[in-house]
Structure 1
Amino acid sequence: MATTTIQVSRETRDHLATLAAERGITLGQLVQQLAEREPTKDQIAERLRADRDHARALMGVDMSDEEFDEAPDILGNIYRIAAQKVRAARGEAA
């Protein structure tokens, strides 16, 4: 693996070195872990797409992205829709 150098203040370097030592890892490993925890905008968009696709599949409802975006309480709406589907499957009144 190729490596590179980054420039930070001494205070930042010392802080990161202390964190790495406390965790028993190298400074490079710490920076890598920190970078992996912070998704890029593209990664966030992909996770959102995957989550919406998963919700659609679980609910059996084809909600558009606009409906997801406009929903004031999407999680509440998902629970409501799912409960309606369960009641319908059981033959219960809505």
Structure 2
Amino acid sequence: MKKIALTIAAVATLGLAACNGASDEVANDTNTAVTDMDATTDAALTDVNGAATDAAAMNAADAALDNAAAAAENTVEAVENAADAVEANAQ
């Protein structure tokens, strides 16, 4: 994507410079456009990395909830087994 944008910017620069003779202004505008594109790319990468971090945190939270549910289920089974043992010993 970046290569295409740079190619288009270069072609536009050459075309405008040939037509208007204002090559310095066009070059400055092109440099500004490339700088803006780099800043946008950096911001997009930051957003993607943030989303990946959020996804990892959500996966960790899901795993913790699954582990807690399994522990609760094991506790219920242990209580049921203990109750069965008390009942069997009472007879």
Note whether the superposition's TM-score is higher than 0.5. Answer: no
More helix by share: 2
Q: Which structure has the higher relative contact order (CA within 8 Å, separation 6+)?
A: 2
Larger Rg: 2
Identify the TM-score tier after normalising by the shorter chain: under 0.3
